[in-house]
Structure 1
Amino acid sequence: MSDMFVEKFRGLVPLYLEEPWQEADGITWEDLDEVFAELKLTVPLALREFLHALGNCEDLMEAYYYFWDPEELEVEDGYLLFLEDEDETYTWGMLADQADVPDPLVWRRNNATGEWINEEGTFSEFVFDMFDWVFNEVLAED
């Protein structure tokens, strides 16, 4: 399996947490395969690599917004859901029928209205932009 984003995702640990990435920060391919097979889910490569690189790194997985653990991933309204805000006002996902696209576009649902809005970026772009915003703007305000 080629790793398109694994090293870039791992690089978020030293960038934002100022410590080296460790094996324990991620989830093994085997564990991910087992969970996704049990859930009968096809997960795009970028999300799989994100979870492989950072799935156990709570300081990033729960930095302002909450990335779902692999066993919590689900398809709803035709979207594979992977993230929500702390107030559960918004949920982020990607079109489930695009699971074969390595780095699909991210969509955001307003949970009160059920309306989905295109975030205008791929999963990897969204992740890097979100962490930049959280660590350089949101947490800097605190």
Structure 2
Amino acid sequence: MGVMTYTDEHVSPIPPARIFKASIVDSHNLMLKILPDAIKSIEIIKGDGGAGSIKQINFARGWVKHQIDELNEKTFTYKYTLIEGEGISDKIEKVSYDIKFESSPNGGTISKMTTNIYTHGDFEIKEEELKAGKEKVLGLYKVVEAYLINNPNAYI
């Protein structure tokens, strides 16, 4: 098994508590509201939504299952593992994500994400595929960020 690791950062004008609550804690409600054409449903199929829970996200085309490894509302950290669905194949065993929201000097947030892709054998993912995955994640953050900017009383 091989492991590919990459990190990414995004700076947002939204404070950590708001963006964490919207994009992580209440994502199962907010994503359906702001991305109705892309996300058809989000179900917690095991657990209560905290650590150990399994969440299934049904997209317009496909689905994924995430296992929540850690959700800490005090430190604004979230760790989860993609265990089934799109992105998992005979070449990729699982993908784990470690996300931390930190305060920035201007009162906003610096989102730091580490992604570990566990591959079967010595399979390597092409740079274009990694870039496309990063752009999808950044796109989700931008949609949540825009929602919070346009709705200043949401998730306070």
Flag whether TM exceeds 0.5 (same fold): no
The structure whose residues are more often strand, as a share, is 2
More helix by share: 1
Q: TM-score, normalised by structure 2?
A: 0.34
Higher Rg: 2
Higher RCO structure, 1 or 2 (CA under 8 Å, sep 6+): 2
